[in-house]
Chains A and B, each alone.
Chain A
């Protein structure tokens, strides 16, 4: 769908530039004349929302770094200084910390949109894998950022997460020592996490450029999951998609603003307002909400599997839960993209979505809490089993056994049929 360019420079300056660096042509083709399927629903605005959140995080982050000191003796106080003394520091700090949560809310909606409408299927595999890489980078950035205030959750989260690597036989311990730069999480760890937390968002921005490039080569998917067949199926990106994206970005910012102004600490953990203490682990240590499902998977493996002990098994399951996403384009064997035309898939998908939320809930409770007559850890094992079964068993099999509903001939046909049915009433 990356058709030929329609840009024609009109002004003398435009022509002068065009002959030397055709950057205006690039922007015009990317953001103005780019053909967008005309049937996109609001779920397609989350790419724009995510771009906006990346900008918000980078801008507020750079500002915070002007006042923050990455030294374990003063880090906590410097954050309090931002809250109390820096002009508007409280606002910028809360925008950044809640911004991370909003970023993850948006990315989860974005991912589940792709899962439902088959946006990972040919020819969008590279687009999808670039997205998985961005997601991994986001988690690394989110984790390291949370360490910087040097509260109790910062310190012990850093300890637990870097200790994941010690589960790896032989090379695990040296890797952990390399990551934390000492015998335990300390100033050296904080120092380097600050540097990397600054670096990673720019890596993300770089991969986002590739992500958008891949999107514009393959063309956007749409709720019907069928290819664009003629010009009647599309509208130009500007003004149609641009204005819709802006509307939804504004709505999302209202949602974000409500948290920042009225519930800035709702999504955080109160123990991070206690300065890091290397001699005492808080009794209720819980990760940030956006890591909870994976945390539940980690804790679900409390048994040994042959030579793999529970510790390594949990770490493998947790990383495997993300790695399996990268292989999804080849695990889903159905030729039909959109879940709208796949009756059995729809059921499996919604069970998967509810299961993912349930895993998040299980990550927030204690493993031996009783839920509906069963220990939370047993529920987590069942949920983890379904998580992997969805990717490794259900999706590969469905392509062979499911009978999809008939697909419309084109996007335009489907819209005309819908409006005809509407006017008949």
Chain B
């Protein structure tokens, strides 16, 4: 027989087709065994929480759990609001508002970080954007939050000012149901 490479035969096609079906079968069987580790139905169904903030005086903050993470609601003092407003946008490490209630490209001005029409109320997820620790309240050199894990510092509007964290503390979706009641989520 000549040694010239033979044209692909129909038998070759059968071998490749069988192999391809095998690969698809293995992938289809593997996916459920990977996807089972994703959040389960009870986790995904986590409902919104409602919070009464009537008792939170200026200068006070409460922390509630939402989706397993702390959300801080701070009634800021006038001084804190003024400090937040006085910061120039170009001095910020992260220029975006990171506010789920505002436009994705909104600037990180103090107004875009605070509640609409209530510039003293700051609602945000208190999870450091570096590696997920909880920053300490009323600490750090910018009068806001300080993360003890790797030294990130946030200002009075929860914006990142110093340290390894790349972004401002995120603001979750929320709405005022009444003047003193907030729904988060």
Contacts and interface: CB of A to CB of B under 8 A. Distances in A.
29 contacts: A159-B131, A160-B132, A160-B133, A162-B132, A163-B131, A163-B132, A178-B34, A179-B37, A181-B37, A181-B38, A181-B40, A182-B43, A182-B67, A183-B46, A183-B67, A183-B68, A184-B68, A184-B127, A185-B68, A192-B37, A282-B148, A283-B136, A283-B148, A285-B133, A299-B150, A299-B164, A310-B166, A311-B131, A311-B165
Contacts of A310: 164, 166
B95 interface: no
Contacts of B147: 281
Nearest to A282: B148
A409 interface: no
A156 B127 CA distance: 12
Contacts of A280: 134
A181 B134 contact: no
B69 interface: yes
Which 9 A-B pairs rank lowest in CB-CB distance, beginning with the nearest?
A184-B68, A163-B131, A281-B133, A183-B67, A163-B132, A160-B131, A281-B134, A283-B148, A159-B132
B60 interface: no
A25 to B, nearest CB: 37
B5 interface: no
B180 interface: no
A316 to B, nearest CB: 14
Nearest to B151: A367
Interface string B127-145: 1001111101000000000
Contact of A188 (B40, B133, B134, B136): B40
Contacts of A181: 37-40, 43
B65 interface: yes
B146 to A, nearest CB: 10
Interface residues of B, number: 29
A278 B132 CA distance: 11
Contacts of B149: 156, 160, 281, 285
B164 A184 contact: no
B133 A279 contact: no
Interface in A249-300: 278-285, 299
A292 to B, nearest CB: 14
B39 A279 contact: no
B37 A279 contact: no
A192 B43 CA distance: 15
A274 to B, nearest CB: 14
A366 B146 CA distance: 14
Given A182-B43, A188-B40, A188-B43, 12 more contacts: A159-B132, A163-B131, A181-B39, A181-B43, A182-B67, A183-B43, A279-B70, A281-B147, A283-B148, A284-B148, A285-B133, A310-B166
Summarize A's interface: helix, strand, loop or mixed. Answer: loop
B89 to A, nearest CB: 19
Nearest to B135: A281
Interface in B9-36: 34
A195 to B, nearest CB: 10
B166 A285 contact: no
A279 B40 contact: no
Given A184-B69, A279-B134, A177 B151 contact: no
B36 to A, nearest CB: 9
A118 interface: no
Centre residue among B34, B69, B164 by max chain A CB count within 10 A? B164
Contacts of A282: 148
Given A182-B39, A310-B164, A278 B69 contact: yes
Contacts of B65: 278-279
B151 A368 contact: yes
Contacts of A188: 39-40, 43
A412 B128 CA distance: 62
A309 B166 contact: yes
Contacts of A309: 166
Contacts of B165: 311
Interface string A151-166: 0000010011011101
A179 B146 CA distance: 27
Contacts of A182: 39, 43, 67-68
